[in-house]
């Protein structure tokens, strides 16, 4: 369920011969998770120290039969507090338009689990395509291709601008294929919902456990829960598909399995960021 989305921005710098890039990415991800824990703990502490609000002042009784605007408005707010009206514009309008750290889109993050209609197959492909070609993607792949070349990743691709161009295209195809497979193709075939439903409240470790569990548990289009075949099969298919266009020397089963594990691990960390991003944003 790459940097912008849960199954996006995965590049061959993690693969085959780019230890520097791997270390950089893992360091960034671990630092982000540490920031999440610190922000969450600080938020919980602050909430624990906040005194309860004073009780509202007593209101005079309303005469029987009164239909004044004040009484009807109060009743409406009490009944609808914390709820949104049913979505009239389809599932896409219920998803987040926020960006983590102002650049990473969170379009597949859902905040209100009570009023979200199921996504159609066309919407899944539309959202996955938007994520694949978001404006942050092209410079990101340029950056990762540069790291891969600096570390001589997949050396048979060669040096110079020609080698750099090959690495850039491979990175782009890797990230796009994984995003489409995990976010659209497999979910459409199996009727699974690729969105991440934020818990948004509760203890730090409870929310973290929930986010981590979403890598193996997913909601279906009918609202039930299933094993997250979209992530497991989609990322596995992306790793296998990469063997069709990566250099021959890198088409081995151990390396393909390593890429598969890396895709799943990266998407897991992304889920943690999606869960705690509102807390981080508030702290910032």
pLDDT digits (tens, 9 = 90+) for 101-120: 767 766 778 876 677 789 99
Q: Is the pLDDT of residue 158 over 70?
A: yes
More confident residue, 165 or 75: 165
Q: How far apart are the first and last CA of the chain?
A: 26
Residue 181 CB contacts under 8 Å (≥ 6 apart), including other chains: 7, 234, 235, 237, 238, 241
The shares of helix, strand and coil residues in the chain, as percent rounded to the nearest 5, are 60, 5, 35
pLDDT tens by residue, 220-264: 999 899 999 999 999 999 999 999 999 988 888 999 999 999 999
C-alpha closest to that of 179 among 119, 124, 140, 247: 124
User: Angle of helix 137-150 relative to helix 19-49, nearest 10 degrees?
Assistant: 130
Instruction: Work out the percent of the chain whose per-residue pLDDT is above 90.
Output: 38
Stretch 23-42: mean pLDDT, rounded? 45
Q: What is the length of the chain?
A: 284
Q: What is the pTM of this model?
A: 0.65
Calculate the CA dihedral of residues 107, 112, 118, 119 and round it to 10 degrees.
-10
């Amino acid at each position: 369920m790459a940097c912008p989305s849960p199954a996006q921005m995965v590049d061959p710098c993690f693969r085959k011969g780019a230890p520097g890039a791997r270390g950089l990415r893992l360091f960034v991800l671990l630092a982000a998770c540490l920031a999440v824990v610190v922000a969450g703990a600080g938020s919980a502490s602050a909430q624990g120290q906040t005194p309860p609000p004073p009780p509202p002042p007593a209101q005079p009784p309303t005469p029987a039969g009164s239909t004044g605007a004040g009484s009807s408005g109060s009743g409406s707010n009490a009944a609808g507090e914390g709820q949104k009206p049913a979505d009239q514009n389809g599932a896409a309008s219920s998803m987040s338009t926020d960006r983590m750290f102002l650049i990473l889109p969170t379009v597949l993050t859902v905040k209100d689990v009570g009023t979200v209609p199921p996504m159609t197959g066309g919407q899944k492909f539309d959202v996955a395509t938007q994520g694949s070609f978001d404006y942050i993607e092209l410079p990101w792949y340029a950056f990762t291709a540069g790291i891969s070349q600096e570390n001589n990743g997949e050396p048979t691709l060669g040096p110079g601008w020609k080698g750099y161009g090959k690495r850039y295209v491979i990175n782009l195809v890797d990230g796009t294929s994984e995003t489409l497979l995990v976010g659209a193709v497999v979910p459409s075939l199996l009727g699974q919902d690729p969105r991440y439903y934020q818990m948004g409240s509760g203890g730090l470790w409870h929310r973290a456990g929930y986010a981590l569990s979403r890598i193996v548990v997913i909601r279906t289009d009918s609202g039930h829960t299933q094993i997250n075949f979209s992530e497991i099969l989609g990322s596995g298919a992306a790793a296998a598909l990469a063997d069709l266009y990566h250099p021959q020397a890198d088409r081995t089963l151990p390396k393909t399995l390593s890429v598969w594990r890396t895709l799943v691990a990266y998407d897991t960390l992304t889920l943690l960021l999606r869960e705690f991003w509102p807390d981080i944003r508030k702290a910032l």
